[in-house]
A = this chain, B = another copy of it.
Amino acid sequence: MMKEPPEWAFEFHGHRCPFMPLGYRMGIRAMRELGVAREKDHGFFVMPELGVAHPQTCLMDGLQIATGATYGKSLMERTYWGKLAAVFYHPGKGAVRVSLRPEFLDAFDAVEFFAYRRRGIEPSQIPGEVTARALEWIDSQTDEQIFKIEKLDGYPYSPPKGSFNRVKCSVCGEYVFERYVRLSKGEPCCIPCSGYQAKGSSLRHSGEAGTQTP
């Protein structure tokens, strides 16, 4: 397994930055710990402990790229805890949590790249040699310096049961998968047409900061 992401990873991600490749390396390391290959279908789950609106979430694109546990396949979902860590779970192989060591983060902070980021400069606008030096600095660190690795016994995750059933919303006429159908005046509705949810309330970041009830 390679430590560096393939070239298409940067194309997917959209810019060069140190955290996507770091997430890639983290994912590869977790897979080695568990003894699993990149996931083709729907059997390997990654729960990053990151949130939104803080730096370094790019880590998660590296995790998607390394593991194949993509957001689109519903194999990845952040916990909204604002932590630079992730749990990797394979039903047949168990679970491992990998986090970035605080000492590593302290040292990494001094890398010039972040001075640009703190000034609000977007990654694609940062000089290539500055980004390259950040990547070189990561390469100079061993896995042991970067990652804390914890095996998790009896990890309680169970994927939700799937269903192909869908119905048409009685208001807008669009299809809804049954799991998400609501009843309004006895008729099946999609959530936005049901009126049970404040408009726009579920649009984004609604799961953040631990405010949701499970």
Contact = CB atoms under 8 A, between A and B. Distances in A.
Interface in A127-185: 156-157, 159-164, 166, 168, 173-182
Interface residue SS majority, chain A:
loop
A18 interface: no
Contacts of A51: 177, 179-180
A93 interface: no
B212 A207 contact: yes
Q: How many copies are assembled? A: 2
Interface size class of A (residues with CB under 8 A): 35 or more
Interface in A41-74: 41-42, 45, 47, 51-55, 57-65, 68, 70-74
Contact of A82 (B53, B124, B181): B181
A192 B54 CA distance: 18
Contact of A77 (B65, B99, B177, B205): B205
